[in-house]
Structure 1
Amino acid sequence: MLLIDFWDFFHNLFNPRWIFLYFGNTAIFILLAIVFAETGFFIGFLLPGDSLLFTAGIFGEDLCKNFYNVPFFVIVLIVALVAVLGNIQGYWLGYKSGKLLYKKEDSFFFKKKHLILAKNFYTKYKATALIISRFLPMFRSFAPIVAGAIRVNFKKFMIYNIIGAIIWTFSIMSAGHYLDKNFPELKNHLEWIILLIVITTTFPVIFKLMINKNKKVLI
């Protein structure tokens, strides 16, 4: 029975609506765990960050009621704080094992090309990459790791880390929250909205990969 429940959880992990409907009172803790893991570990790019935040905004009133009736902006601040902590974890991971990661063999959960692509992205945009990367699933997980690996000044890292976390959480969660207030029927079409978010956030990454691939072919 436990194995079946675990499989159901893993199978539905990428369905944000299921998380909030199934877990109810404890959904906020699942949300925080996923946000931390997505920004703190290199396997985090597999997790549904943007769509989860948007859905959290739509279910914002339920989250507030189930968490001591705090105002919605407090929920967003808590999520932003966890996103900041996740990036610190990613920075620490890169700082301690960055060189080893470049030597690590590819696996299902780790692709060296993602790390290299994130490094090139960071080299191009410098510290502001920590803000931009918040809205790009793969870069969101690898940017803090790269920052730690190349020994970015921690104070500078924290400034952009905090700014990026606040902009990311407030913009996406507020969009879901206030759109739901004006268009309550959104809940009935959530799957299509999430699909649109996934396409919008992953297209730049796919486009970049295709350009790099074409360049290699030409060379």
Structure 2
Amino acid sequence: MLRTSALGDQLGDLLGQSGVILFYLVIWGLVFAGTALFLGVFIPFITGDSLLFGAGLVAATNPNLSIAILAIGTGIAAFLGDQVGFLLGRRYGRGYLDRHGGRRTQAAIAKTESFYRKFGWWSVIIARFMPWARVFVPVIAGVGRMNYYKFLSSNLVGAVAWGTGMTLVGYYAASIPGVKNAAYVIAGFFIVASIIFGYRTWRSDRLETRAAATTNAEPEHTSGG
């Protein structure tokens, strides 16, 4: 009887924590997918600084959330996302980049390539704080055959500085008078604004891609002899 009661208590605790676990998984999943699955191309803000800052704010106002687990997990997710991007670039080459997005995306890729050539090892770290570069630098580093261990070290530093650091910034920002009480409103604003901006970017890229495909499909007119 006591064993059954203890099991019931454990299941109850697990059920009560499911919302917390889901919160962790959503944050980590978005951070990972931002670079590993190119999600950051379409919704750069919801997978970037705003997400981490907002998550830190929420953690500061919810006693069930552990800022240590959230911040460390976010750093790991950021690290793994870039590792996947790097390996994809090394495996599939420049053609992998050419298949993504319309003119806006291709312009961002060209800009990122120049940025990578200029800063090298540091580009992986700096790019963490730049929405247009965050997604593409790992892949371009792979395409450029950057030494794996150099990328590994720069990725680790960048993931800790950005993934863990930005989450902690949001958490400690809640200690500022007025911020803690408005934490959910601020986080909600960031998320809604990110979704709207991301949809507009995705739609614009899709329309540009469709227009380019239509132009390429038009038959060439030749004059008859």
Aligned match of 1:143 in 129, 137, 146? 137
The one-letter code matched in structure 1 to 2:121 is A
- The one-letter code matched in structure 2 to 1:163 is V
2-structure distance, mates of 1:112, 1:41: 17
Q: Which has the higher helix share?
A: 1
The equivalent of 1:101 in structure 2 is 96
SS at match of 1:182: coil
SS at structure 1 position matched to 2:175 = helix
Higher relative contact order (CA 8 A, sep 6+): 2
Give the match for residue 74 of structure 2. Answer: 79
- SS of match in other structure, 2:145: coil
Aligned equivalent of 1:162: 156
1:92 aligns with 2:90: no
Helix, strand or coil at the partner of 2:51: helix
Q: 1:98 to 1:139 in 2, by over 3 A?
A: same
Matched residue type, 1:73:
A
**Change in 2 beyond 3 A, CA 1:105/1:186:** closer
Structure whose alpha-carbon radius of gyration is higher: 2
CA contact (8 A) 2:71 2:165 kept: no
Letter in 1 for 2:183: K
Distance 1:168 1:103 in 2: 28
Q: Which residue of 1 aligns with 2:59?
A: 60
CA contact 2:74–2:163 (8 Å) conserved in 1: yes
Offset of 1:56 from its aligned partner? Answer: 0.7
Paired with 2:78 and 2:127, the residues of 1 have a C-alpha distance of 12
Aligned equivalents of 2:163 and 2:98: distance in 1? Answer: 33
CA distance in 1, matches of 2:188, 2:60: 22
Equivalent residues of 2:20, 2:64 under 8 A apart: no
TM-score (norm 1): 0.68
Q: What's the offset of the Cα at 1:43? A: 3.7
Report percent identity of matched pairs. 26
Contact 1:104-1:112 at 8 Å conserved across structures: no
Runs of 5+ consecutive residues of structure 2 not aligned to the other structure: 1-18, 195-225
- Map residues 1-219 of structure 1 onto 2, 5 A cutoff: 25-47=21-43, 48=46, 49-61=48-60, 65=64, 71-101=66-96, 103-104=98-99, 106-107=101-102, 111-183=105-177, 184-187=180-183, 190=186, 194=190
Change beyond 3 A, Cα 1:130–1:177 = same
